Amino acid sequence: MIARRQQVSLVVTALLAAAAACQAHQREQQTPPGRAAPTAPNSASAPGAFTLVASGGILPDASVLERAAFDAGGAGHDFRPMLEGVKDIVSRADLALCHLGTAFGAGAPYTGAPRYKSPPELASSLAAAGYDSCATASEHALDDGADGVRRTLEALDGAGLRHAGSARGEAEARGTLLRAGRAVVAHLAYTYGTNDPLPPDQPWAVRVIDEKRIVEDARAARKAGAQVVVVSLTWGRAWQDAPDAQQLDLARKLTASHSGGRPDVDLILGSHAHVPQAYEKVNGTWVVYGLGDQIAGATTDDSGRRNPRANQSTLARFTFSPPAKQGGRWEVARAEFVPEVFDLDAGRVVNLGKAIARGADLQGVRDRIRTAVLSRGAAKDGLVMGE
């Protein structure tokens, strides 16, 4: 089924009231699958429903950069082949969000950990995979200073990608509005902190987590016309499967916040732990504590040992249905996770929902991801594994 997918970006002012230009393009509508062998009906077929897909951290280290250079045939960097295995999921969603955990450098040499400076070609590769907006608030957002923030956002703009979480000015700091089907969706993003201090003259350069600020931004987005508010958070303790006390506390507070007869936040998407964490419905709102890293190299954990869990992640897929009456809440009609792994040898993201037949090793990874995702009882609230 072919559907028109229209993206509207509104560069948000202090009241998130100024609208930018509208960009339209054709996308093929996806039938959301159920478990590994889907038999479920297409819940997105309800009039006005839309499907949102979100992925975790993109952290290109030296080995990833080498692979992208190889895939480009010696002419720059090409990350498109890395994402080919999940392009069908991302590109068919009505709205696709990524988590960009790096800054773009001014030129070679590009670097990975501990200070990430990636080639700007990454932006066009993300757009080619089908992403619409990227969270840019992370601990690495200032790894190349304020110029790196500007350079990153300019590259995303040039690729036609919206962004949330870092800014070139105070008016831009509060997020972006996008269109998904007939819904207006606000994408807001925040980080627990940055590796370098915020520039004294640019305190808005990266949005830092503050409960009051998040609620204020969400309410301002509602006033600007947002019907669904999505918050991306860089939070939690690295390498920990279970969400920590601060994640749990902030999730409870944000999902409990209401105004105008509906919640202020409709979905929370977490990153930073580097490993998949639980999905959970909190106060009636879905929270993904940790999506895991979609693209990362041979990462070592806090003990200094290579940790393969850093290459395991999920794609979250939520189908939102319109309210029964005007001004009501858009409800999640279907909640799914798609397990994925970054194959270090091939330099490719692998959709584990489709790859189980390839061997017991991949099945074991998939099962570990599923255990983590369902560890807080999300199955009882309807979360299923898709493909």
Amino acid at 347: G
Each residue of 274-296: pLDDT tens digit? 999 999 999 999 999 999 999 99
pLDDT in tens, 185-205: 999 999 999 999 999 999 999
pLDDT of residue 24: 33
pTM score of the predicted model: 0.89
Residue 303 pLDDT class (50, 70, 90 cuts): confident
| CA-based R_g, the chain, Å | 19
pLDDT at 100 over 90: yes
**Residues 269 and 232 sit within 8 Å (Cβ to Cβ):** yes
**For residue 152, what are the domain limits?**
2-385
Tokens (6 digits) for 101: 């955990």
User: Which residue in this structure is represented by tokens 């110029």?
Assistant: 147
- Exposure string of 61-88, with b = 16+ CB inside 10 Å and e = fewer, is beebbebbbebbeeeebbbbbbbebbbb
Chain position carrying tokens 């008016």: 171
Q: Which H or E run contains 262?
A: strand 262-263
What is the structure's pLDDT at 10?
Answer: 39
| Mean model confidence pLDDT for the chain | 88
In angstroms, the CA 268 to CA 279 distance is 10
What would the pLDDT profile of 315-324 be if each residue is shown by its tens digit? 999 999 999 8
* Interval 30-67: pLDDT, tens: 323 233 333 333 445 578 899 999 999 999 999 999 99
CATH number at residue 276: 3.60.21
Q: Tell me the two tokens of residue 10.
A: 């509104």
What distance in Å separates the CA atoms of residue 286 and residue 324, rounded to the nearest whole number?
A: 20
344: pLDDT strictly greater than 50: yes
> How many domains does the chain fold into?
1
Distance CA 205, CA 207 (A): 7
User: In whole angstroms, what is the distance from residue 127 CA to residue 105 CA?
Assistant: 18
